[in-house]
Amino acid sequence: MPDATNFDAATSLETPRLLLRRWRDDDLDGFAAITAQPEVMRYIHDGRTLDRPATAERLASYQRHWDEHGFGLYAVEIKETGELAGFTGLAVPVFLPEVMPAVEIGWRLGRAHWGRGLATEAARAVVARTRARLGLRRLVSIHVVGNEASARVMLKLGMSLDRETVQPDTGRRVRVYAMDL
């Protein structure tokens, strides 16, 4: 598993429409609005929405991940408006022990930002940065069976289906996609 010494500590990326950056304290309201949307959370963990305190803990865990690993989930901001759209980036998928050791690329956008190619645009920027600077040989991405929108992003990134399995803590069927870097 790579550590922070292997990764350029740059904390932001830009795409034509997006700014990917580290989380700020003032992101809590926007992210809490996203995690409160049932359509957004339907395929996340056990499918339940998060309240504000749970969202705050999630953001704190994202910050700790950056501090511990030197990479993590970027806040995704729409450049034109400054609105928080969600996140994309890298995480260690400890929730699925059978794929460990691994690094997962993932994303989550608020419902208002679906269907415009933003998840793919953001994820491609993360893949490019990862290839250039992280020294990983492989990335995985995991989605709950039925989340075909996420599967399409995985395919657009050049990933292929690695396996279908069950997430131990929820009992939900998941598909693991992978790509060599």
Residues in the chain: 181
Q: What is the pLDDT of residue 10?
A: 61
DSSP 36: T
Q: What is the pLDDT of residue 134?
A: 83
H or E segment and range at residue 56: helix 52-69
> Would 148 be classed as within a structural domain?
yes
> Would 37 be classed as within a structural domain?
yes
Query: Stretch 86-108: mean pLDDT, rounded?
Result: 97
Q: What is the pLDDT of residue 11?
A: 78
Count the domains in the chain: 1
Evaluate whether 174 touches 164 at the Cβ level (below 8 Å). Answer: yes
> Would 175 be classed as within a structural domain?
yes
Q: What percent of the chain has pLDDT over 90?
A: 90
> Would 2 be classed as within a structural domain?
no
87-96 pLDDT, tens digit per residue, is 999 999 999 9
**Residue numbers of the domain that contains 156:** 9-180
Side-chain-facing half-sphere of 14: CA atoms under 13 Å: 4
pLDDT band at 8 (very low <50, low <70, confident <90, very high): very low
* pTM for the whole structure: 0.91
> Would 3 be classed as within a structural domain?
no
Evaluate whether 97 touches 168 at the Cβ level (below 8 Å). Answer: yes
> Would 1 be classed as within a structural domain?
no
49-87 pLDDT, tens digit per residue, is 999 999 999 999 999 999 999 899 999 999 999 999 999
H or E segment and range at residue 132: helix 118-133
Nearest to residue 102, comparing CAs of 74, 139, 73? Answer: 139
* CATH assignment at residue 75: 3.40.630.30
